[in-house]
Amino acid sequence: MCVTCGCSTLQDLQDATEPQTPPTPQLPHAPHEHHEHTHNHGGEEITLEQKILAKNDDLAQQNRAWLRDRDILAVNLMSSPGSGKTTLLERSGRDLAGRPILSVVEGDQETDLDADRIRAAGCPVVQINTGAGCHLDAAMVGTALRTLDPPPGSVVVIENVGNLVCPALFDLGEAARVVLASVTEGTDKPLKYPQMFRSADLVVVTKTDLAPYVDFDPAQFATYIGQVSPKSQLIQLSAVNGTGLPTWYDWLTAQIPAVPA
């Protein structure tokens, strides 16, 4: 469906069916990710969207089976840019200190700056640069997972490209979806981007240390989440002062599959 934003073409379908090449520690720009910004909303475009999503879903199921066979938890971490995804992963890597082992697939359009931060916190990480692409897809993540080769019983967090629209549409093979929203973004994000929040298993309000200085109503935000996605759990935390982090760690570890003895 990402034809809607113009960052996918028929080349997506061709690339997704090509045999996987041996993975490299840092993945290159995906050559098929273009922004052509087509505005044709006819039946041909809708059919293309359906085909792209169907191929992606097939690959996501392969990723899910690969993870399940290894008892690995994969979490798709999504948010707008600047909500604190990388900061939360840095703090989590240091606090958990390998209990459980935390690996990261880092998605950005350009640079490996965030990957460097996460690596410095002690987490194995693979960088995916999407170029003009506004989301990760299952093919990219499948290659990254095989590069990471995480051990059984571990956690892989997929830090998606900062975007509250397209990442919600693409299944990556994850077991859970976590959506971050910082207090600096305002109270109304769930209403403005309902599809993203509706897809969440857990919604995390971040940067609560800044709440006294911004216009954010936590009770109203919780009401909006209840309206948009009543199944989602909601927690609040600050990766700076540590408030709420034990709840995040408890949620994360509770999702890990039991590894057979």
What pLDDT, on a 0 to 100 scale, did the predictor assign at position 161? 97
Q: pTM for the full model?
A: 0.84
Determine the residue type at 15: D
- Per-residue pLDDT of 155-175, as tens digits, reads 999 999 999 999 999 999 999
What pLDDT, on a 0 to 100 scale, did the predictor assign at position 2? 53
What pLDDT, on a 0 to 100 scale, did the predictor assign at position 39? 47
- Mean pLDDT throughout 223-229? 98
Q: Is the pLDDT of residue 11 over 60?
A: no
- Per-residue pLDDT of 54-77, as tens digits, reads 999 999 999 999 999 999 999 999
What pLDDT, on a 0 to 100 scale, did the predictor assign at position 3? 52
* Secondary structure element (H or E) that encloses residue 102, with its range: strand 102-108
Position of tokens 């359009």?
Answer: 109
- Mean pLDDT throughout 133-149? 97
What pLDDT, on a 0 to 100 scale, did the predictor assign at position 42? 60
Q: Is the pLDDT of residue 242 over 70?
A: yes
What pLDDT, on a 0 to 100 scale, did the predictor assign at position 14? 37
What pLDDT, on a 0 to 100 scale, did the predictor assign at position 98? 86
- Per-residue pLDDT of 72-87, as tens digits, reads 999 999 999 999 999 9
- Kindly indicate the confidence band of residue 32, based on its pLDDT and cuts at 50, 70 and 90: very low
Q: Which CATH superfamily is domain 72-254 in?
A: P-loop containing nucleotide triphosphate hydrolases (3.40.50.300)
Q: What SS3 class is residue 87?
A: helix
Kindly state the tokens that stand for 139: 């093919």
Q: Is the pLDDT of residue 10 over 70?
A: no
Indicate the average pLDDT of the chain.
87
Position of tokens 């199921």?
Answer: 61
Of the two residues 31 and 50, the one the predictor is more confident about is 50
* Residues 114-129 as b or e (16 or more Cβ within 10 Å = b): bbebbbebebbbbbbb
